[in-house]
Amino acid sequence: MRIACQQAACGTTGLAHSLDQLRQAARRAAEAGAELLVTPEISIGGYPLLMSNLKEACGPVDGPQCAEVDAIAREFSLALVHGWPETDGGELYNSARLVSPQGDTLAVYRKAHLYGRGERAMFTPGEQGVVQTSYNGLTLGLLICYDVEFPEAVRAHGMAGTDLLLVPTGLMRPWDFVARTLVPARAFESQLYIAYANWTGTHGGIGFAGHTTVAAPDGGSQALPEQGEGLLVADVDPEVLRRARAATTYLQDRRPELYPS
């Protein structure tokens, strides 16, 4: 399956601009032959996180914000992952949603590991660690940004059979080593693909690390540079998954009785 990851310029310029960015990325992804587009964390709303700029992007799964995204998926016959501030029962979540090419919701994940006092003051943490769905013969999973820095979170997906882990992110400088080092390591040690889509640029004194990455279970990876918008196109190959899992048997060789949580 061919996928595309959007590296977008940061900025909190409102819902209309977010949707325009998404539409442009979806068009480019479809032209590149991608079947799935992954966008950065809170791609509908924008980064850095400021409630004054996020208000119009907040909404439930069945709200008008997500309906606009559904229309883009249908327009380009493309599955896509977008982030947005999800409202539900008076709570606000940092969420990611996988939408089918027909505009149907395939999966919703709420960020479980909130980063720093700002996020913890703004959002309610999600309570479901492993969210999966099937698409085009692969098992897809979702995490968001800081989640992937916890090896247990990614290993749980590996143990549950996730083939491709989709990770919208908002990684800031100077922690670019997370994209360059940790993400490929997570893919290798848990024997799955990871698609890690990040923001780039500087806004309000906050700089984003770029380095949007697709890491494979055999140790290979592709990445964009730190600076500049772009679209990373990569192929997720079931045969690479099969060979890597046969050669590197971490999941079978675990001895969890020796390191209980």
111 is an active site residue: yes
44, 45, 228 from 41: Cα distances, Å: 8, 9, 17
Please tell me which residue in 58, 86, 111, 149 is annotated as part of the active site. Answer: 111
Q: E strand or H helix at 206, and its extent?
A: strand 206-209
Q: What does the alpha-carbon distance between residue 57 and residue 50 come to, in Å, rounded to a whole number?
A: 11
Q: What does the alpha-carbon distance between residue 171 and residue 176 come to, in Å, rounded to a whole number?
A: 7
User: What SS3 state is found at 161?
Assistant: coil
Phi, psi angles (nearest 5°) of residue 37: -115, 130
User: Which residue, among 2, 52, 10, has the nearest Cα to 171 in the 3D structure?
Assistant: 10
Please tell me which residue in 86, 145, 149, 226 is annotated as part of the active site. Answer: 145
5 is an active site residue: no
AA letter at 47: Y
Please tell me which residue in 41, 86, 149, 226 is annotated as part of the active site. Answer: 41
68 is an active site residue: no
Catalytic residues: 41, 111, 145
